[in-house]
Amino acid sequence: MSELDITYRGTVYPWHCDHMGHMNVMWYVGKFDEATWHLLSMMNLTPSRLRKEGSGAVAVEQRTEYKRELHAGDLITIRSTILEIKEKSFRFLHEMWNNETGELAATTVIVGVYIDTTLRKAQPFPPDVRERAAALISPRAGT
């Protein structure tokens, strides 16, 4: 299993599964989204701070690879890292692991932009956020 930071733990429920008997793609995206909120908090972008400062993070690109099927009852862990931080954007990785088998089930790489939620425009990350994000960059950055 990966040594990246844990950002989500959960279960695949029967209602997450489609007619083929495995977890539907919409639930992979949803679980990756939940992991993103934890990763943002690790960057000092907590929900309360975002509300207070009128800022937010929006996804502008996402590439997902499905490696192994997940089924009802599977326990999963998502591990995440920052791959790159720029003035107004960042690129990060989530890995979804099957806890029982130790297999990598899916990965996603997302590009996010930090925005002013009133103006709906990109804005620079605050210095403390950039510093914290840079500290979270994995040695695997660029993979």
d(CA 141, CA 70): 27
The predicted-structure confidence for 57-100, as pLDDT tens digits, reads as follows 999 999 999 999 999 999 999 999 999 999 999 999 999 999 99
Reported as a pLDDT band with limits 50, 70 and 90, residue 142 is: very low
Tell me if 124 sits within 8 A of 113, measured CB to CB: no
Q: Where are the domains of the chain?
A: 5-136
Q: Is the pTM of this model over 0.75?
A: yes
d(CA 56, CA 116): 7
The predicted-structure confidence for 97-125, as pLDDT tens digits, reads as follows 999 999 999 999 999 999 999 999 999 99
Question: Which residues are CB-neighbours of 37 under 8 A, at least 6 positions away?
Answer: 47
Strands (E) located in 1-143: 5-11, 55-66, 75-85, 89-98, 104-116, 121-122
d(CA 75, CA 103): 11
Beta strand pairing call for 75-85 and 55-66: unpaired
5-136 placed in CATH 3.10.129.10: yes
Rg (CA), the chain: 16
